[in-house]
Structure 1
């Protein structure tokens, strides 16, 4: 009898254990199912991200009064496959700029990433974006100054500065259409009545027929464009940086061979180069001239910089053939050693505008 009772109890315990196991397993499966569903709920398209952003109303929580917002644009600035949202804004007291919102994957909320404030502006619009080669994207905007000059602003994320910077600015006709093809990285616009089409090249240029626009990756424009771009050409490296202190630079590189005046500015002359202040009383270096010891021609520079903006004979102090490039805030002039445009380039002049 006892043995029979033990057998019945054993069966009961076995049934209870099986029952508990059966009830627990579906709970685990249900929990796993919930996690899968939660992961899938994140937006997959730009349109879905924009809708999620607008629902959160993150832009309305910023310290801006009497503000109007433009149409939002989704731009993947940092290449992490979750786009940021850009909203152009204007206020009654004539503040203009772009709010950039970023989605926090942990808290699942939208937060202000950056507020880019513009000056001397009367209207702005965030247009669209184009894809860069590193999976990040370039924002393209249309901006009109108080002098009624209209330009396309190009904004990208700078890993050097760890923020959004203006990579380039292009003058356009205000009353003509701007066409942007994000997938093909193409931009077409009108300038002085002529249509211009530019395509991304090597992740640093927007290039087209007779046009080549450099896309900065750092706010240090001169260092970027001289060391990175001109530095690819076969010339000596620049030992100084324009805009830095004239006196401090002299102390850093040593006593000059002599100092002289050039167009009202004081210059320090060394063996193969000299640099100048623009005016007496101002300490920042605004001009640099260097000899080029290597035997190179304008064709070597064209491989890096494209076609020059201007070229022709100059006579200061000797008649030579020169070529001029305008790179952002700087003018670069290359001088040959003769009146022959095919002659060797033996001098480079860099001037801050």
Structure 2
């Protein structure tokens, strides 16, 4: 006989060490009692020779971070253009409509350049997939571009004012999505620095887009019409500081990628420029044309630094396996702490 044979007297020919230890198999769903030792040790996460665990996004910083920035400028700019149109600030409305369609053109060119072939953008329009941020974003850009282009054409030619007004409203409505959907696109990846702030990142991008649009309005609009832009700049500065602070607090150790290296330098510069530009616009923007243009340039530069800084933080977190392993270990430690807590202590009071 080979192997083991079950007889009336027991197992004959069994190899030693094959007996199951008591408690090795626990009933499904039953928590381990305090003091019990697990038969299988908890998993330890590591990477192969320190190599990245996840694939670093192959995106170009110039193309994709630029696509983020100019898309935000276009979308938020259409919202300010609609407000200026409604309140009779015709010079500001016309300038913002033109800047929005121009920014959208640059954003689309950056996206197509990163894709490699213009036909690839067209291919994304073959289907509409609500669960895909890329699919939704492609359709959003297409619809927004039509409205923004019609609004700008009406403003320049002076023809079809009613159609131009309707297009202005449509561009403002879709512009809110254009300004923020790229945050969802980034957070939908496995990149730790982006996915870990999927709740806060849209607010960061919304504030950054508002800062860019208000900066453009301050730069191109006459001082007598820039009051809404100055208020928007102040709100954008506060919103960006608060949302970035909340994002870093919720990231744990991954927040280091936002504070160190290239990303840390860019985001620190962004905060200084955005807050400084908003303060200059609030106190001097309505008195001096030069101060308005200068504060607008600071806000635009600050918004660009924010987008490029967030992009750099994501790439840094993907390249270093520590930022992939660390959060997983923290989850395991919290789970172990819960398992070791007596059942009575886990009951709500």
Query: How high is the TM-score relative to the length of structure 1?
Result: 0.21
Q: Choose 1 or 2 for highest CA Rg.
A: 1
Higher RCO (C-alpha under 8 Å, 6+ residues apart): 2
TM-score, structure 2 as length reference: 0.21
